[in-house]
Amino acid sequence: MSSKLINRDRLLDRFLKYVRVGTTADPNTNDYPSSRGQWLLGQMLVDQLREMGIEDALQDDHGLVWGTIPATVPGPVPTILFNAHLDTSPEAPGDHCKPQVIECYEGGDIPLLSGDIIREQDTPELAKLLGHTLITTDGKTLLGGDDKAGVAAIMELAHHLMENPHLPHGPVRILFTCDEEIGRGTKFVDMQRADAIAGYTLDGGGSGIIDVETFSADMATVKFTGYNIHPSIGKGRMVNAIRAASKFVAMLPSESLSPETTDGRDGFMHPYVLHGSVAEAMVQLILRDFDTAKLTEYADRLRSIAAEVCKDEPRLSVHLEIVEQYRNMADRLKQFPVAADLAERAFHHIGITPTRASIRGGTDGALMTQKGLPTPNLSVGQYNIHSCKEFASLSEMEIAVKQAVVLVDLWQQFGRS
Ligand SMILES: [Zn+2]
């Protein structure tokens, strides 16, 4: 086999093996990782990396998998890192996944064994996937292509580079993280161990896409404290925190600045948890915008609405807390443009016109970028994620591996230039 060719059957085998290990993240435990399947899949990957000859492969105390494909060129060449996450979303069942392979998709609706149907009209992306090898589930679970497509692509990249030592590249660090779907993906990532000049998360939909921008994100908790007393003697004494919280939510912008009314580059302030009693009521909101400075404006707006709610009732008190979640990675990626530029060149190199995109959300790459490792996100053929109608394109996973093979070469050229 020519070294240029990616072993497509092996890539498919890997993917099918990995999705069969249930790795649903569990937000209701403090264990790390939050599910046993993530340990099991991680161990399987370490064994496979060792079999390829990657001697430093290991699963650390937190279940994260690390390994390094050694450099094939001499001299100081920068290390780059590839990352994917082992867990799957808790929003759909993930255990006992039964993947189905459609060898050459000819168009039309895709019936699933459960009786459900992936409809062409709900899934406009299908029109671009004619002739692709697609993988679905039986309709009873999600597939977990988010992000086992990324895991399989990185594993195949490693195997391909290990069996083709004549391909030029510097050290390539592999990192598989846990519990990304519940916001804990980078919690235990040791940046010293990463020790790379740039990173790439392989965790995107479609093909030819480089995500270079995420939202900036804060979480706000607004707590109203009232006064509870038996309703029979409540006159002039009771102060109902539930009423205060309801008034607060009603005063939030709803015709604009809400997820229901915004798209593209517009941000929002989104109340997503509300619970309480007469004595105390709490509203939790997420604040999102591509422009980080806007988050301060949103927080100020929350403060003034809260003050307005309390202004005629001195016995009512309110406490507002803002917690930073993640920051738009675009700001830092602009300071180190080579990370996205080389990814773009790698796509051109394999005949694909790349698109730069923004995510209305966050990635682990955003957090790693914030910690000093510029980490754009690359497409790896995921579709309908977090759903039982999820599917993945093997053809696009293969493209992701091809792109990565070129990318590691471009980096060693960059390092030597
Ligand atoms: Zn993901």
78-111: per-residue pLDDT in tens?
999 999 999 999 999 999 999 999 999 999 999 9
Among candidate residues 270, 295, 325, the one where a domain is terminated: 325
Among candidate residues 325, 360, 377, the one where a domain is terminated: 325
Mark whether 232 and 124 lie in a shared domain: no
Q: What is the pLDDT of residue 417?
A: 83
The neighbouring-strand residues paired with 236 are none
Whether 87 is catalytic is yes
185-209: per-residue pLDDT in tens?
999 999 999 999 999 999 999 999 9
- Percentage of the chain beyond pLDDT 90 is 96
Is residue 18 within 8 Å of residue 41, measured between CB atoms?
A: yes
Domain housing 220: 216-325
CATH number of the domain encompassing residue 247: 3.30.70.360
Band of pLDDT at residue 160, cut at 50, 70 and 90? very high
Q: What is the pLDDT of residue 75?
A: 84
Whether 180 is catalytic is yes
Q: In this structure, which residues have their CB less than 5 angstroms from ion ligand 1?
A: 146-147, 203
- From CA 152, how far away is CA 203, in angstroms rounded? 11
Q: How many domains does the chain have?
A: 2
Mark whether 247 and 124 lie in a shared domain: no
* Prediction pTM value: 0.89
- From CA 354, how far away is CA 343, in angstroms rounded? 9
Mark whether 302 and 186 lie in a shared domain: no
The percent of the chain in helix, strand and coil, each rounded to the nearest 5, is 35, 25, 40
Does residue 250 lie in a domain region? Answer: yes
358-415: per-residue pLDDT in tens?
999 888 899 999 999 999 999 999 999 999 999 999 999 999 999 999 999 999 999 9
- From CA 292, how far away is CA 326, in angstroms rounded? 10
CATH number of the domain encompassing residue 399: 3.40.630.10
Does residue 38 lie in a domain region? Answer: yes
> Which residue in the list 156, 180, 390, 396 is annotated as catalytic?
180
Judged against a pLDDT cut of 50, whether residue 1 lies above it is answered with no
Query: How far does residue 8's CA lie from ligand 1's centre (Å)?
Result: 22
- Percentage of the chain beyond pLDDT 70 is 99
> Which residue in the list 87, 156, 179, 364 is annotated as catalytic?
87
Distance in Å from the first CA to the final CA of the chain: 31
Helical ranges in 311-393 per DSSP H: 330-335, 338-349, 364-370
Query: How far does residue 150's CA lie from ligand 1's centre (Å)?
Result: 9
Half-sphere exposure for 263 (CA within 13 Å, toward CB): 0
